[in-house]
Structure 1
Amino acid sequence: MHHPMCFSAPASFVTAGLTGAIGVIALTRVSEPRQLLFAATPLFFALQQGIEGLLWLDLPLAQDEHVSSALTLLYLFFAEAFWPVYAPLAVWLIEPSAHRRLLMVACLGAGVGVGSYLLWWMLGHPQLATIVDYHIVYGTGYRQPDAVGIAYVAATGLPLLLSSQRTVVVLGAIVLSGLVVAYALYWEAFVSVWCFFAAAASVAILCHFEWLRRRSSGSARA
C-alpha cells in the first residue's frame, strides 16, 4: 500500500514555515488554558511538514537508512496515530455545549482506538518511504480495512463539524474536504493532505481566535 505526498522539500518547508508562524500568532490570542491545544494545532502541522522536508533531503542521499527510517516512522506517527487523538481532544476542550461535548467524547474514543491500532501496526511492520515521480511515497504493501478509515474520519473530522462554533465548523469542512479528495485515491491518503489543506486549516484556526477576540472586545464595550 502506498500514497503520494507533497511535491518537494521547498514545498514542505514553506508549508511548515507558514503554518508554524500562524500557530505562534494563534497562541498569542489564547485567553484560557483550555484553548491551548486548539491554538497549537498549526505548530504540529508545521512539525509534520518539517519532518517530511527532511525526508526529501535525506532520501536521495541514501547514506544512512536509519535516518530515513526514523523520519518515516516519526512522520507516520503524527499522520496516523497522533491526529485521531489530538484533534477530538483539542475541539472537546473548547466546546461550550455539554451535549456536543458528549458526542465528541465518543469521537475521541474512536480516535484512541484507531490511533492505537495504527501505532501498533506501524511499529510491528516495515514502513518504507521512496521518491517516485516527484512525490514521496510511503508504502507497507497492505491496505487497511475500510473500518479503520471510517474510524479515522470520525475521529479527526466529525468533532469539528459537531462544534457549536462557526469557525470550528469551517475548519471541519476544510478537513473533511481533504479527506474526501484523498478517499478518491485510497484511504491511506487520508493522512497525506497536509500540503494542500494544512495552511487553509491553520488560517481557519487563527480566524477562530480573532473572532473570539473581537466578540470579547465588542462585549466589553457594550
Structure 2
Amino acid sequence: MCWSATADLVAGTAIVVIGAACVARARRARDLPLAALPLLLGTHQIVESVVWRSGGGTGPATIAWAVIALPLLALWVPAGVLCAAPARARTRLAVPLAAGVLTAAFLSYSLLTRPVTAEIRGRTLGYVLDLPHSALLVTGYLLATAGSLLLSADRWLRALGVLVTVGAAVCAALWRLEFISTWCAFAAVCSVVLFGWVRRGPPEASAAGMPTSTS
C-alpha cells in the first residue's frame, strides 16, 4: 500500500509500464506468468487508489484488492516460478505450489463467506478479514510466494525471494506501527528485478550456446 490515492495511482502506473516491458522482452512462453507479475502488482496499486478515494469500506475495489493480494498471488507466484524453472528444479518447486493451491483455496473460501473491510488509518490502509487459522495461512502464503522464489534454480529469482522476505517483514512492521508503508517502493524494486531477469534471458539458453567437448 502507498500513503495516498495519488501515490498509489502513480506508482501503479509506473509498475504496469515495467510489466509491459517485461512481457515484451520475455523470450519463452513459459516465462510469461512471471514476466507478467509486475502487471498484476501495478494493477493492484491502481485498485488501491480507488479504495483510497472511496474512503475504504467494503466496496468492489476492496474486494478486488483482497482477491489479488490473497488467493491470486498465493497461486500466481509459485505457478510462475515452476513454469519458468528448468526440469531439474521442478520437483522441489512442487512443494510451494501445493502450499499455494491449498492456501489460495482457503483464502478464496474466506473471501466468499466473510466480509473484508478497508480502513484508512492515518497514512496507511488497513484491511480487516476474519481469517480462521491465520498463523497457518500466513505460513502457507509465505511458503508459496517467498519460498518458491528462494527454492528457484535461478539466482535472480532467489535474490527476488530474499527481497520479498525482507520487504514483507518491513512492510508488516511499518503497518503495525501505522507509519507510511514502503509497499510502493517494494513493488517497484521487485518489478525492476523481474525486468532484469527477463532481459537476461533463460540461463540454459546461454549454456546451450557454449562449445562442448567430446571425448
Structure 2 length normalisation: TM-score? Answer: 0.86
Which residue number in structure 2 is paired with residue 11 of structure 1? 7
Assess, with a 3 A threshold, how the Cα gap between structure 1 residues 95 and 214 changes in structure 2: closer, same or farther. Answer: closer
Shift of 1:38: 0.9
Is the Cα–Cα contact under 8 Å of residues 23 and 202 in structure 1 kept in the other structure? Answer: yes
Pick aligned residue for 1:25 from 10, 21, 27: 21
The whole-number CA distance in structure 2 between the counterparts of 1:215 and 1:145 is: 39
State the Cα deviation string for residues 53-108 of structure 1 (Å, max 9, x = none). Answer: 11111227xxxx7xx5111111000101101100000010111142x211111111
Which residue number in structure 2 is paired with residue 136 of structure 1? 125
Shift of 1:142: 5.6
Give runs of aligned pairs for residues 98-177 of structure 1, distance below 5 A.
98=88, 100-140=89-129, 144-177=133-166
The whole-number CA distance in structure 1 between the counterparts of 2:14 and 2:168 is: 21
Shift of 1:217: 8.0
The whole-number CA distance in structure 1 between the counterparts of 2:121 and 2:43 is: 23
Assess, with a 3 A threshold, how the Cα gap between structure 1 residues 96 and 142 changes in structure 2: closer, same or farther. Answer: closer
Is the Cα–Cα contact under 8 Å of residues 26 and 201 in structure 2 kept in the other structure? Answer: no
Shift of 1:164: 1.2
SS in structure 2 of the partner of residue 157 of structure 1: helix
The whole-number CA distance in structure 1 between the counterparts of 2:145 and 2:207 is: 32
Which residue number in structure 1 is paired with residue 186 of structure 2? 197
Count of aligned pairs between the two proteins: 207
2:158 maps to amino acid: V
Q: In percent, how many aligned pairs have the same letter?
A: 28
Assess, with a 3 A threshold, how the Cα gap between structure 1 residues 215 and 119 changes in structure 2: closer, same or farther. Answer: closer
Gapped regions of structure 2 (runs ≥ 5): none
State the Cα deviation string for residues 110-167 of structure 1 (Å, max 9, x = none). Answer: 1111111111112211111121212222113567531111111000011111111111
Pick aligned residue for 1:42 from 14, 38, 41: 38
Assess, with a 3 A threshold, how the Cα gap between structure 1 residues 53 and 144 changes in structure 2: closer, same or farther. Answer: farther
Gapped regions of structure 1 (runs ≥ 5): none
SS in structure 2 of the partner of residue 138 of structure 1: strand
Assess, with a 3 A threshold, how the Cα gap between structure 1 residues 109 and 186 changes in structure 2: closer, same or farther. Answer: farther
Question: Does 1:59 find its partner at 2:55?
Answer: yes
Assess, with a 3 A threshold, how the Cα gap between structure 1 residues 159 and 193 changes in structure 2: closer, same or farther. Answer: farther
The whole-number CA distance in structure 1 between the counterparts of 2:203 and 2:95 is: 32
Which residue number in structure 1 is paired with residue 83 of structure 2? 93
The whole-number CA distance in structure 1 between the counterparts of 2:175 and 2:183 is: 16
The whole-number CA distance in structure 1 between the counterparts of 2:135 and 2:162 is: 21
Instruction: State the Cα RMSD in Å.
Output: 2.7
Assess, with a 3 A threshold, how the Cα gap between structure 1 residues 140 and 221 changes in structure 2: closer, same or farther. Answer: closer
The whole-number CA distance in structure 2 between the counterparts of 1:104 and 1:76 is: 25
Which residue number in structure 2 is paired with residue 206 of structure 1? 195
1:69 maps to amino acid: G
SS in structure 2 of the partner of residue 59 of structure 1: coil
Structure 1 length normalisation: TM-score? Answer: 0.83
